[in-house]
Structure 1
Amino acid sequence: MGVPAQPRYCANCATRLARDNTERHCAACRKTQRVNPMGPPSLPSAFWHTDQMRDALDTWHMGKVLYAYRTHPHHGRPLPQELVAGWLYMTQAQLSRIEKGQAPQDLSKLIHWSEVLHIPAALLWFKLPGQRRAPEPAELSVSPALSLWDIPQEDATAGVLAGGISPFPGMSMQQSGDHLLKTFLHLDGELGGDSLYLPLSRYVARMAINVRENPDDGLLEFGQLNQMAGWLALDANNHNAAKRYLTSAIQVGHEADDPGLSASALAYMSLQETYRGRLGPALSLAQTALAASPQQLTPLARTSLGTRLARAHAGLGNDNECLRILETVHEDFSQAGTRPEPYYLSYVDDIEVAAQQGACYLELGMADEAENALTTAINLIKTRAPNRIRDHVHYLSRLAKCYLLDGDVEHACQTGRDALELGQVIGSARVAERLGEFNTALEPLHRIPAVGEFKELFRLAAAGEPV
Structure 2
Amino acid sequence: MGSDVGANIRRERDRRSWSQARLAREVCRAAGISGDPVGRQEISRWETGKRTPREWLPFLAAALGVPVEVLTAPPASAEPPLPTLADFLPEEDPLSPLEGRTGRRVGMGTVDELRQRVHGLRLADDVLAGGDLIRPALRDLRRVVTLYRESGHTSEVGRQLLRQIGELAQIAGWIASDAGQHAEAERIYRLGISAAQHAEDRILAGNLAGSLAYQMSNTGRETEGLILAQAAFRDSQAEAPPKARALYLDRVAWAHTKAGGAENTQQAIRALGEAGQALSEDSPGTESPGYLYWVDAGELRVMESRVYTELHRPLRAVPLLREVLGAYDATHTREMALYLSWLAVALADANEPEEAASVAERVISLASATPSERVAERVRVVLGRLQNHADVPEVAALLAEHR
Q: 1:217 to 1:360 in 2, by over 3 A?
A: closer
Question: Which ranges of structure 2 fall in alignment gaps of 5 or more residues?
Answer: 1-84, 86-90, 97-101, 152-157
1:203 match: secondary structure: helix
Instruction: Look up the match of 2:312.
Output: 365
Asked whether 1:415 is paired with 2:359, we answer yes
Which TM-score applies when normalising by structure 2?
A: 0.69
Instruction: Look up the match of 1:213.
Output: 150
For residue 250 of structure 1, the aligned residue among 193, 207, 229 is 193
Q: Is the 8 A contact 2:103 2:150 kept in 1?
A: no
Distance in 2 (alpha carbons) for counterparts of 1:357 and 1:196: 28
Asked whether 1:435 is paired with 2:379, we answer yes
Distance in 2 (alpha carbons) for counterparts of 1:147 and 1:458: 47
Asked whether 1:179 is paired with 2:116, we answer yes
For residue 340 of structure 1, the aligned residue among 287, 295, 309 is 287
RMSD: 2.6
Distance in 1 (alpha carbons) for counterparts of 2:270 and 2:316: 15
Alignment of 1:219-368 (within 5 A): 219-315=162-258, 316-317=260-261, 318-337=264-283, 338-368=285-315
Deviation at 1:412, TM superposition (A): 0.5
Distance in 2 (alpha carbons) for counterparts of 1:424 and 1:172: 42
Q: Is the 8 A contact 2:144 2:164 kept in 1?
A: no
| Identity across the alignment (%) | 27
Deviation at 1:213, TM superposition (A): 2.4
Q: Is the 8 A contact 2:314 2:349 kept in 1?
A: yes
Question: How many residues are aligned here?
Answer: 299
Q: Is the 8 A contact 1:417 1:457 kept in 2?
A: no
Question: Which ranges of structure 1 fall in alignment gaps of 5 or more residues?
Answer: 1-138, 140-144, 151-162, 460-467
Deviation at 1:442, TM superposition (A): 2.2
Distance in 2 (alpha carbons) for counterparts of 1:194 and 1:341: 30
Distance in 1 (alpha carbons) for counterparts of 2:160 and 2:246: 30
Structure with the higher helix share, 1 or 2? 2
Distance in 1 (alpha carbons) for counterparts of 2:193 and 2:103: 22
Deviation at 1:146, TM superposition (A): 7.0
Asked whether 1:375 is paired with 2:317, we answer no
Q: Is the 8 A contact 1:367 1:403 kept in 2?
A: yes
Q: Is the 8 A contact 1:224 1:261 kept in 2?
A: yes
Distance in 2 (alpha carbons) for counterparts of 1:375 and 1:449: 25
1:271-305 superposed Cα distances (whole Å, 9 cap, x missing partner)? 10111122111110111111113220111111111
Q: 1:248 to 1:293 in 2, by over 3 A?
A: same
Distance in 2 (alpha carbons) for counterparts of 1:424 and 1:164: 45
1:373-430 superposed Cα distances (whole Å, 9 cap, x missing partner)? 222211121xxx3432211110000000000111111010111111222333322111
Q: Is the 8 A contact 1:177 1:225 kept in 2?
A: no
Distance in 1 (alpha carbons) for counterparts of 2:391 and 2:317: 27
1:137-190 superposed Cα distances (whole Å, 9 cap, x missing partner)? xx9xxxxx974369xxxxxxxxxxxx999x9xx994312221122211111121
Does 420-429 or 302-311 show the bigger shift?
A: 420-429
Letter of the structure 2 residue corresponding to residue 377 of structure 1: V
Deviation at 1:359, TM superposition (A): 1.0
Q: 1:226 to 1:447 in 2, by over 3 A?
A: same
1:315-354 superposed Cα distances (whole Å, 9 cap, x missing partner)? 2232221111111011011122342111211221222111
Q: Is the 8 A contact 1:211 1:217 kept in 2?
A: no
Which TM-score applies when normalising by structure 1?
A: 0.60
Letter of the structure 1 residue corresponding to residue 356 of structure 2: A
Letter of the structure 2 residue corresponding to residue 187 of structure 1: A
Higher RCO by CA contacts (8 Å cutoff, separation 6 or greater): 2
Q: Is the 8 A contact 2:131 2:372 kept in 1?
A: yes
Instruction: Look up the match of 2:37.
Output: none
Q: 1:349 to 1:387 in 2, by over 3 A?
A: farther
